[in-house]
Amino acid sequence: MKTTKSSPAGDFTEAEQKLVANVLLQRYGKLVALQLADSELQLDSARDELTLCPTLYWSELGAQFVVCKTGDGVYRCQFFYSDKEQFGTGRDQFSDLDECVMTVLQVQSDHARQQAGLFSGATARNLGDDEYHGPTLL
């Protein structure tokens, strides 16, 4: 049985929330409602312990996003469509909140374009690879 402890990270500060809100305003061209939440995360895969981490949540264009604060200035993020369709960015953590949010938005946008059959025009020949290595499925 996994136990849960509280994160040493404090809640998202007002400045952090404003930063995320501004990134979303730039991305979507409108105000996006942010919700404060908590997420239980397994921060250390070697331990059978969950940590309750402050989380920012928003939903836009059919996708849901979470950014979790796992430490002072340390963040994790993912987006999802359902319990069965959850995606990460390929990075376990970020030390820059702006980079974290921008990365999860870009990965989701790339994923949505790929699902819709829209591509950048680059080919496997241009990329030197013949396989798509999309977002990490969690």
Q: 86: which strand partners?
A: 80
Rounded-to-integer distance, Cα 36 and Cα 68, Å: 10
pTM of the shown model: 0.79
The burial class, CB within 10 Å (0-12 / 13-18 / 19+), for 102 is: middle
Please list the pLDDT of the chain residue by residue as tens digits (138 residues). 566 777 667 899 999 999 999 999 999 999 999 999 999 888 877 888 888 999 999 999 999 999 999 999 999 999 999 989 999 999 999 999 999 999 999 999 988 888 776 555 555 555 555 455 555 555
Helix/strand/coil for 133: coil
How crowded is the C-beta side of 65, counted as CA atoms within 13 Å? 24
Helix/strand/coil for 2: coil
